[in-house]
Each structure stands twice: as structure tokens, then as C-alpha cells.
Structure 1
Amino acid sequence: MHTIKGPGVFLAQFAGDDAPYNTLEGMAKWAAAKGFKGVQIPTWDNRLIDMKQAAESQTYCDDLRGLLADHGIEICDLASHIVGQLIAVHPAHDTVMDAFAPAAVHGNPAARRVWATEHLGFAARASQRLGLDRHTTFSGSLLWPYFYPFPQWPEGLIDEGFSELANRWRPILNDFDAHGIDLAYEIHPTEDLHDGHSWEYFLDKVDQHPRANIMYDPSHFVLQQLDYLAFIDHYHDRIKTFHVKDAEFRPDGKSGVYGGFQPWAKRAGRFRSPGDGQVDFGGIFTKLSTYGFDGWAVLEWECFLKNSEDGAAEGAQFIADNIITVSERAFDDFAKSGADRAANRAMLGLPAD
């Protein structure tokens, strides 16, 4: 077993154009003051990291790690959610997804995908140079407009979609493998990989690729009404990264899982600051620790209600309070009688050898 690392914080929701949120050094000072020990860096935010330079320059990466270390901060991993999203985009979402890419590729889905693939290549090389062994991303989606089977799916549609998704990701997975990095997909609504069945469908299509792994965030399972503790039992060997994000699900006579196109404050399923929602984090930390999860517990703050600064400070303490320092010996070791095969056989009424 391993003691989970933490607390860490995903910087994406806190980065901004004003100090201290507009530089990595400023965010390192801020994170340390809140009680965090690690940061998950969004690869698309040029204010925090230059991915091309990180991929090509060991000096740049050493300086970046040194800057963070000066403030007592480590890198949990790099995260490329909105870049991975662009590997697979249904045409219905093209206009919206252009916002995730540089202006030079807007209106050109093929060029946008080339850009995203190149960026992920930078992420693999940068992760290796930074001494990391895992990376978090999204899978993208070709099938999400068809997630509900009416009108009835044409025969072969779902299989074709997952085959194409696998074809797009397989060379990227191979690239990450060449650099010794696990790729952890966040299992998330609006992604083709949004639950256990869709994950298994994809994993089969990429031939159980050893670098295809999972980013575990229980909040998305609460909103789907999926058993997030049993999910760990099924897929613990593939869980490589972990977001600590809380949620609540309070259906009424007008709204349930789908939300009725309501804003977050009016939906049945809503994200909350850790400890304010319904997620059993004690159960999660226990299961992950028992199964030997060796990564970071990273706060992703997306509460619809609470102030973000309070959410960050409370989140750091919440994670610290939930981390279980695992024991190096069994609690009943004091009662051990030692190994004696002859005695064991005698206790079972068996003759000596």
C-alpha cells in the first residue's frame, strides 16, 4: 500500500490575468499559502507553462521545477483536458470547440486535430523531462449527440465511433508509452469515455493498451447516479490520477439527471466544495489507499456557490485530513507466533513430514 500524496490543486480554475494568478511563480506562492504541496498544471495556459519549450529544453524544465521547489511545491502532473477534447469532435460541436484551439486553426477541424496531436506530443516529452510518469486528459467525443438511444441507433454506429476514437488515440498512446508516461482519461459526461461500459469499450478497441488509464473524479459519477465506490473496485488497477471534487444530487418533480437545460444553481446535480456535497471521501480514500494508489489527491474546485478562495483553503485542509498514512505493519503483528511448518501440521492433526 501507499500513502496518497497531497494536497494538490488543479490550477485551471484559479489562473487569471491578474497577479498572483497570471504566472506560475505567483500561483506557487498562492498554493503554498493555502496549504497545498503540489500543483496540476493545465498545458493550454501559456501564462503558466510553454509546452513547446518544456518538450524541447531540459534546462527549462529544471528551472520550472526549481521555481516550484523554492516554494515547497511539486508538480502532480500536467493536464491537457481541452486539448484532448479536440482529438475527437462531432461536427455539431465544431464551433464551440474552436475556442479551445489557436485562432489559426479555427474553422478547420482537420488542422485543429493536427494541432491537438502535436500539443499532446509536447506533453509526453515535457512530462518525461519533468520527471513525471502520468498525464491527465479528455478523450473527446464523436458519439455524445447519440448518448440516448432514440431515435434508435443505426446498426454499427456505436462500434464505428469507438473504432475511430481508438484509431485516433492509439498513436498518441504509443507516443506516451515511448516516453514512459501513463495517459489518464477523465471519465466525464460529454466525453465518449463517461462510465465503466464506455471505458471498457474503448479499452478493448485499443487492445488493452498499458498506457490507457483513468483519471478518477467521483463528482461526475454522483451526477450520473453511478456507484463511485464500486467503480474503484472494478478499475483500481487503471486509476492513475484523482480529482477531489464534491457534488450533490437532489432530484425533484421537475429535474433529474439531465437537468432540464437549467443553470448550475437550479440543477438537481451540482458541484460543491469538498465536504459540502454528498461524496463519501472517507470511503474513497480508504479504497484507493487499500488498492495501493500512489498518485496525488488534487483539488478541482468547481463549486456553484462558495467563494473560490475559501474553497481552495478549505479544500487543502479537507484533503490533508482525509489522507491516510498507511501502516508499515499489521495491527496484530504483536500476536505473531512465527513460522513453524511442523507445528502447523500438528495443529491440523497431520503427521510430520
Structure 2
Amino acid sequence: MAGRFLFIILIIFCIHISHANAQNNSSIEFTPQVSLTRFSANPINKLMGPVYGAELVYHKHATDNPAAWMRELNLKSIDVIFNYKNMSGVKRFYQPVEKEFGDSYGLLAGITIPLISFDHFYLDVAPSFGGLYAGETWYTNENPIIGAHLNFASRIALKTGIALNNKMDITGGIDILHYSNAGTRVPNNGMNVVSAGLGIKYNFNRSAGDTITNKTDIFKKHQFDLGANIGRRGVYESKDGLYKTGLYAGYNYRLSHVWALSTGIDAVYYHTIYDPDRNLETYQSNASSFKRWRVGLAVGPDFWMGNLAAMFKYGYYIYYDSLKPVKTYWTTGFKYKATNWFSLQAKIYVHKTEADYLGFGFLMTR
């Protein structure tokens, strides 16, 4: 379910950006990569060995009649990224197993924002988010880091380029790729790979300059949000799951076309609470609760790209009868504004670096 919903979000995002007043000039970039390091969230599972791979990126340049959020970011392009990683050389430092980590195949959507730009040289930052298929998991060969074939992936890159002529660029950069399954299957320590690469970019129709219009996008500064979601956390070393329902009520202040600041109350209902007599069936690590409800207050920014927003909040529990001494949490996710008052959302709850569960639902706005 999580993987299918992710690819639906990606399709919505691609449809959304295709109507975002971007010119039909574009480029394609190919970059072989080698890892600088690789690590898991759990320090017990120390890793060694190289990771080889490559990225193929399609850039749709936003240089003609850009939307207001694009102008505010000075957006360079909206990107579709295919990422491949050969993990055959990766092993755990303790109890190494040959070819324990299967190759990974990722499909991500992202944006490129220029930091420095001269006539023939540029430096960009490029965040992205999407889905990734991992070849091996706990359920195929007891790989303790990856719990599911289908994973969520995020990647941020610092990229530079030198224009050789009107069509070709030599590119290079460094990036970090993270993937995990958001707690839908446990164990779920997740994988992080830091890579460096040198590549080439072909420009189909390099723009000579931006064409800025006087078009004004109107947004509402003050709004109140009321939302709900439902999701499932995996049971340790099992394909079973424990369901939770999340509720949210908050206030959102729009600072600009791109940025908003929001604060609100998160309430999570446990369909199954922790029972010491059924430890393996009900244990949820930092999310283990003796009571049906936990409640927290959170604050953080929203990053808007037209009708699509990335959400980030950090919160403090005002009520949580937890098994472990957990006082804080954070949430992140995406929401897509389908109408002026209704949005679809995907939202993950996290304790420290450990995913609790991923919920899918809606937000109603006034």
C-alpha cells in the first residue's frame, strides 16, 4: 500500500509540474558514482565496502513564464531521477555475509535551485524524494538493516557544472541518499549512502535567459487545518502490522508563495497498546504506549511548490504513557491541495531517527 501510494504522489507531482508554466526546454544528465561512505541509523550495524552506481536525471527547465513559487526560489529545473546502486561489495563489519545487500533501484522527483551561476560555471543544490526498490531484506536473507523491498527515498545533492558549448556540460557533485520503509516492516534501520560522481549533461534547448511576467499568484495568509490519517507499523520480524490513527488541528501562517509557518496538536490513537505479556506482538520500540492516546504540540515550516507542500514539524508530548522515556517527536510528509479547502496528505511520525508509522489521509482547511 505504501509503495503504491508513493508512486501515485509522484504521478500527481509530475502532472502538477507539467502545468506549472515551464518552457519545453530540458536536459538529460548521466553521472556514474562511487560511495565515499555508507552507514545505517543503528551504530551496531557498522558497514564496510564500496557502493558503485549511477544516476540518470531528466531536467525540465523552469525559465519561461515561471509560476510565483518558481520565481521566488529562482528555480532552475524540476527533475525526474533514476538512481541505481550496486551494493554487492557492502558488508557488515561484524558477522559479514557475502552479497547481503541487494542492488537498489530508485525513482525520485526533485527540484534544482542555483546557488552560484556565471557564464560557463554553476553550483546548484538539488533535493528530491521518491521510491526505491531494495533487492534484499530481512525476509529474504535476514538482512538486519532493510525490512522491505519497497522503500521511501530522499536525496540531496550539491552539483556543479561547466558548459563546454551550447549543448554539453561536464558535471560533478556529491550527494547523500537515504532509504527506509517508514516502519511498515521491522527491522527498519535504513540505509544511507554518500556518493561522489562525475558526469555529462546534454541540453536539448538551452535557454538564453529567463522571461519574467507580471503574473501574480494570490495566496491566503491565515488558515486553520483539521486532518486525519491512518497507517500501520510493522511487528518485529513479522509481516503483521499494528494500526494507528492520527488526528491534527493547527494554524498555518503563509509567509510567501514558498514558505509558511504552522503549529498545531498531534493526537495519535493506538488500535493496539503495549502488553508486556505479548511483548513480541505489541512492542513498538520508542512508539510503545500503555494507553490508547498520545498527544503532542508541534511547530515547523511548510515548503510550498504550487499546490504541493513538504511539511516539517518538531514537537513535544504533553501526554504520552510510553514504555521508554520519550518526550519529543517530529513529523514530515507531503500534502497536495486538491481544492481550496481539501488536501491529500502522507505524514510520517518519527522518534529521534526511528520511524513510528506512515499515515495517509486528508486535511480540511478554512
Per the normalisation by structure 2, the TM-score is: 0.27
Structure with more of its chain in helix, by fraction: 1
The structure having more radius of gyration, on CA atoms, is 1
Structure with more of its chain in strand, by fraction: 2
